[in-house]
Homo-oligomer: A and B are copies of this chain.
């Protein structure tokens, strides 16, 4: 029976500090404010947005929504980003991705004022993660993984970590963040040979490929720690992770469930970034 690494206690501990900082700022006449830019109405975006708004409200953070129709043009999205940039009362921006086809996502991301890039989508923030300079904010989900390991007392120094998936939202940045904490990090992906062996031999494995229940018994070994970043909907309409939880849980030492795992820490990280961005522009 694995230890369940629930996200709630991690998010709550983070949020406690965030709420205190938000209160201080508000007392000084600064209302920490998050802009949400959403194009279209994808169910998972809407679901995340509801969670984010709820948490923002609880923490005393205001939310301003910039909602665009699914057929919005690149210029429409760029115009929304420009509004966010120009509005001094907005401290951070969450933009849902992927953007609809035909929009140059990299161009839109890089149009955002780096100081408001609380979800690590600009080249400047990602360079900060890669170079380990502390410049900018890392992507929230990548940082959520690190916060969970910290909260539950896992010291990664010298440990072997396998990261499965190499996106700029999770895989690559979390690899760099754990490397900065002196883990030995292996970046794996769909072309990796002998993936089950690599995963079994690692002390910690981060699964972040968005493939529902794709990682089964052959990937797990006793005592290891598993972070499951995937949030997928299975054929019966149930939420599930990238990991076959039923297969992993009796074997591994500790695992984040889906739901109630990594995902529930991400919005807490986002809110902390918003408040930190508000502090930085004082």
Contacts and interface: CB of A to CB of B under 8 A. Distances in A.
Interface residues of A, number: 33
Most chain B CB inside 10 Å of its own CB: which residue of A127, A176, A182: A127
A93 interface: no
B193 A130 contact: no
A189 interface: yes
A224 B166 CA distance: 25
Contacts of A193: 158-160, 184
Interface in A110-141: 123-124, 126-131, 133, 135
Given A127-B126, A133-B106, A186 B186 contact: yes
Contacts of A185: 186-187
Given A124-B123, A185-B187, A166 B192 contact: no
A122 B66 CA distance: 33
Given A130-B127, A131-B168, A191 B182 contact: yes
A12 interface: no
